[in-house]
Amino acid sequence: MREVSYFAPTEVGEAVKLLAQHGEKAAVLAGGTDLVAQLNYYEIKPSALVYLGGLDLDYVREEGGKLVIGAGTTIAHLLTDDLIAQKFSVLAEAAATHGSPAIRTKATIGGNLGTASPAGDMIPALMVMDADLVLASSKGQRTVPIQEFFTGPGETVRTAEELILEIHVPLLKGKAVFKKLGRRKAQVCSIVSTAVRLEMDGGVCKDARIVLGSMAPTPLRCSKAEAMLKGKAVDAALVAECAAQAVAESTPIDDQRATAWYRAKAGTALVARALAEVAGI
Amino acid sequence: MKQILSFILNGSPVDVIVTPTETLLDVLREKLGVTGPKRGCDDGDCGTCTVLLDGEPVRSCLTIALTVAGREVLTVEGLSTDGDLHPLQKAFHEHGAFQCGFCTPGMLMSAKALLDHNPTPSRTEIREYMSGNLCRCGSYEEIIEAIQVVAAGEYAPSGGKE
Amino acid sequence: MTEYVGKAMPRYDGIGQVKGQTKFVDDFVLPGMLYAKALRSPVHRGLIRGIDFTAAKNTPGVVGVVTADDIPGAKRFGACGDQPVLADEFTAYLGEEIALVVAVDEDTCMEGIEKIKLDIEEQQPVFDMFEAMKPDAPLVRPDLKSNLWDYGSGMTTRVMYIGDVEQGFAEADLIVEGRYQTGEQDHSAMEPMVSVAYFDEAERLVIHTHSQCLYFQLGQLAAIFNLPMSRIRYVGGVVGGGFGGKNHIHADHLAGLAAIKFKRPVKYRYSRREDLLYSTKRGVFILEYKTGIKKDGRLTANHIKLWHDSGAYGGFSPYGVEKCSMFASGPYHIPNTRIDGQCVLTNKAGSSSMRGFTIMNGQFPMEMQMSKIADTIGMDPWELRFINAWRDGDIGASRYVVRGAGALEAMRGAAEVHGIELPEHLLAMSSRGR
């Protein structure tokens, strides 16, 4: 029998105190769709499980010109939330591709960030909106731009004593889309995914974000490709050039889902498709 | 550390001693004798362990048992009422919506959740909603057909939704 | 009885299935039941120098271990009888079972397994069939003389032939060659490998099995347990998908051994990952074709060389080679046909039967070859197939005389389904004669 303690705090203060006590030996349990599989296969051996389900972190609100998303918001909730549909539809697009219904009812947006998979479905959409993550510990809170959050596959700047509390999303202008390619259409980890956001003024691009998933050790913002678009009239030729540049910034690998060669080919097509769609060409 | 877990299982309160790493699937199958939900992958991929938690489909293999304290769990065993088969059970049986039957308990629970949310799903909606339940024998067509006939009201007893 | 003919009837076991009451093997949870998990080989090929179970046995909740020394009877099993029940001298594939830890639950089994000190000498493995066939290749197992399967008396090539292919090539206007490969495939039945074993009130060993073929396996189990078959109640009939993967014994022998040693009910269950990694697979086939053709499309000769990757043990693979050979020349009348089949051992989990056994592994390449021939001679691929399709009375390399041939009629049906209009002279052909 495994010697593990279980805690289900009902207040954030209580939760961060537990994390401070147990540090690296605590596993933070939200929806459990990643964590429990790891427990089932003995890949992790925590001495404490801290369940966040009692913290009431499942909410989406608009505050001070930003969307505030509780880290415990389920993917299923994101799919049906009116605010998300109206103001951050690219996140709902990503949510629709995540797992399958019985995964989405439990998986949380905070969990998707914390797991920090390069294939994390929700991450590119948050990155094109320059989201900020609010981390809480017993010492207080800090805000980390999502750009700086990921340090490697499964690795982030979050310390063992911190939990992801909220995601703050500025309501940036422009149109954004998310595209994902997997081995099948549903319940699948992406071979490559992309989110792009373009703010257009007439046919000219004022601001751009291009993010690739599953193409580097972390979800990747392709800043050189973005720079190619700014101030330019966006046409099919520029889209193709820009998509190629985005993929050139990535470092895809061979794995069980696809080869690096295929990822590069498919990634270029996916980014081009996404850019063309938001640019309306 | 063992703890007592209390929850509502198929409409009746149950108490059971569990450990923190035991999943709802472990507890149902190994401790409560509720073996309808099957263990197919322990990884959330196959869907045969699907149960309804407060009416929503979840993977019981990815659900830590202690997190269902005080909540309502419905398994395939709780689908039929007073000995009458649920319309989905009748339709699956009569339309041959399985071969080996190992995926059936999970399929039925996902199908129930679908029809509870959307009583008249299109074929595409059925395919999308059922995408997390795998059937290696390949009875997908019959499964879709069974759900469609239930949605069309073919098996509804007179006077009630179910 | 005639009222049932032509009607879809609900399954006799359907009500149990839709109510979740059908008892699959893993659904048996018995009072006092123990669980077993295997210490698996951490290397693809190794020599076992020693195993220290002390710490594992001292783990609270561990009831004991089972090793090859605990086997009352035959130490080897499988369709060819060459696979160790538990490895004691060597391991020949990654994940091969070496010993069992038996405990009150699976968590404790895993804890015990982690504490086993296994001293194993890692050796150079060989994974590729053509590497394995080289004279200086490492032997997959120390008990082999060669990595080629010995069909008896040193015969490593299974030959099937009719006529004389050299003469057939001499008669041909053209020769087309092709090389084709089919890959590995897992059965991925929804129900992973599992077994429950216990002694009943009459001291018979009861085994709940998901076997697809109880009578292939009962004899093997009786030999391993050194029990007469009458002392084993081998209970099957509910299979959570097999697809050929449950023709090989994966769990029954190990659950049974643990039940014999500890006289308590024991469940031995593969996780999905173990099932994917270590259960038997459809093995790789590589086929090389050399086919002689007349300009009018008649096939005069077909010489096929085929190799089948058996993994570390024979299993059904030597038979699979024969089965593949019987169909590798397709449903075509070729007077001079020869198939040379070889079964090659490599340091991988054993391959075995899967859906249609190994037949389509021969049919697929032959059809590829037919399309290649049609392209080469510039003939419509339907015409090429119609001209050469078996008619009643034809005889193939397996020396079966064809009766009730139906390839032409099947092709006509396929064309109709796909809206392809075939020319009159093809539609006029019949399998009843040439």
Q: List pLDDT tens digits, range A43-59.
A: 999 999 999 999 999 99
Task: Tell me the one-letter amino acid at C370.
Answer: M
Q: Which fold has domain B3-78?
A: Ubiquitin-like (UB roll) (3.10.20)
Q: Whose CA is closest to C107, among C172, C47, C61?
A: C61
- Give the pLDDT mean for B31-49: 97
Q: Do A273 and A192 share a domain, yes or no?
A: yes
Do residues A121 and A24 share a domain? no
Average confidence (pLDDT) over B131-157: 95
A41/C105 Cβ within 8 A: no
Please identify, among A122, A142, A170, the residue that sits at the C-terminal boundary of a domain: A170
Of A54, A71, A89, at which residue does a domain stop?
A54
Q: Which residues of C touch A2 (CB under 8 A)?
A: 107, 111
Cβ-contact A30, A9 below 8 angstroms: no
Q: With beta carbons less than 8 A apart as the criterion, state whether A208 and A185 touch.
A: no
Inform me whether the C-beta atom of residue B96 falls under 8 Å from chain C C-beta atoms: yes
* Tens of pLDDT, residues A57-74: 999 999 999 999 999 999
Are A138 and A43 members of one domain? Answer: no
Same-domain check for residues A18 and A91: no
Q: What average pLDDT does range C132-156 have in this prediction?
A: 96
Of the residues A170, A192, A212, the one at which a domain ends: A170
| C388-416 pLDDT, tens digit each | 999 999 999 999 999 999 999 999 999 99
- The verdict on A127 and A203 lying in the same domain is no
Shared domain check, A204 and A259: yes
Return the pLDDT at B81: 83
Tell me what pLDDT residue C8 has.
84
Shortest Cα–Cα distance, C284 to chain A (Å)? 18
Judged by CB atoms within 8 Å, which residues 98-157 of B form the interface with A? 110, 113-114, 128-129, 131-133
Does B162 have pLDDT greater than 70?
no
Task: Give chain C's mean pLDDT.
Answer: 97
Q: Backbone phi, then psi, for C258, in 5-degree steps?
A: -65, -40
Q: Which residues of B touch C271 (CB under 8 A)?
A: 42
pLDDT of residue A158: 98
Beta strand extents in C89-146 (DSSP E only): 90-91, 97-103, 117-122
b (16+ CB within 10 A) / e for A30-51: bbbbbbbbbbbebeeebebbbb
Percentage of chain A with pLDDT > 90? 96
* pLDDT the model gives residue C3: 85
Q: What CATH number has the domain spanning B87-151?
A: 1.10.150.120
Our count of domains for chain A comes to: 3
**Are A39 and A75 within one domain?**
no
For chain B, the average pLDDT equals 95
Top residue of B42, B51, B59, B63 to mutate, by most chain A CBs within 10 Å, is: B59
Task: Please tell me the predicted confidence (pLDDT) of residue B157.
Answer: 63
> Number of C-alpha atoms within 13 angstroms, CB side, residue C183?
3
| Domain map (residue ranges) of chain B | 3-78, 87-151
- Rounded to 10 deg, the angle between the B140-151 and B104-117 helix axes is 40
With cut-offs at 50, 70 and 90, classify the pLDDT of residue A164.
very high
User: What is the band of B160 on the pLDDT scale with cuts at 50, 70, 90?
Assistant: very low
Output the CA–CA distances (angstroms, integers) from residue C95 to A190, C37, C244, C273, C365, in the order listed: 29, 12, 21, 11, 32
Q: How far apart are CA B97 and CA B94, in angstroms?
A: 8
CB distance C33 to C103 below 8 Å: no
For residues A274 and A186, membership in a common domain is answered with: yes
Q: State how far the Cα of C383 lies from the Cα of C374, in Å rounded to an integer.
A: 9
| Same domain? A189 vs A260 | yes
pLDDT digits (tens, 9 = 90+) for C9-62: 889 999 999 999 999 999 999 999 999 999 999 999 999 999 999 999 999 999
| Enclosing domain of residue A44 | 5-54
Q: For the segment A196-240, what is each residue's pLDDT rounded down to a tens digit?
A: 999 999 889 999 999 999 999 999 999 999 999 999 999 999 999
**Whole-angstrom distance, CA of residue B31 vs CA of residue A17:** 33
Put simply, the answer to whether A1 touches C273 (Cβ < 8 Å) is no
Residue of A1, A6, A187 lying closest to B132 (CB–CB): A187
pLDDT tops 50 at residue C96? yes
Find, among A160, A261, A166, A272, the residue nearest to A212 by Cα. A272
Contact residues, chain A, for B20 at CB < 8 Å: 2, 4-6, 49
What CATH number has the domain bearing residue A213? 3.30.390.50
pLDDT given at position B159? 40
Q: What pLDDT is attached to residue B126?
A: 98
CATH at A132 = 3.30.465.10
Q: How many Å lie between the alpha carbon of B159 and the closest alpha carbon of chain A? A: 30
Q: Do C10 and B136 touch (CB under 8 A)?
A: no
Cβ of B136 and C188 within 8 Å? yes
Q: How far apart are CA A124 and CA A100, in angstroms?
A: 19
- Residue with more model confidence, C426 or B82: C426
Model confidence at C381: pLDDT above 90 = yes
Judge if A80 and A183 occupy the same domain. Answer: no
pLDDT greater than 80 at residue C261: yes
Average predicted confidence (pLDDT) for chain A: 97
Both A161 and A258 in one domain: the answer is no
* A183 and A250 within one domain: yes
A87-113 tens-digit pLDDT = 999 999 999 999 999 999 999 999 999
Across the interface, of C104, C107, C271, the residue whose CB is closest to A2 is: C107
At residue C2, the pLDDT reads: 79
| pLDDT tens digit sequence for C169-208 | 999 999 999 999 999 999 999 999 999 999 999 999 999 9
In angstroms, what separates the C-alpha of A49 from chain B's closest C-alpha? Answer: 7
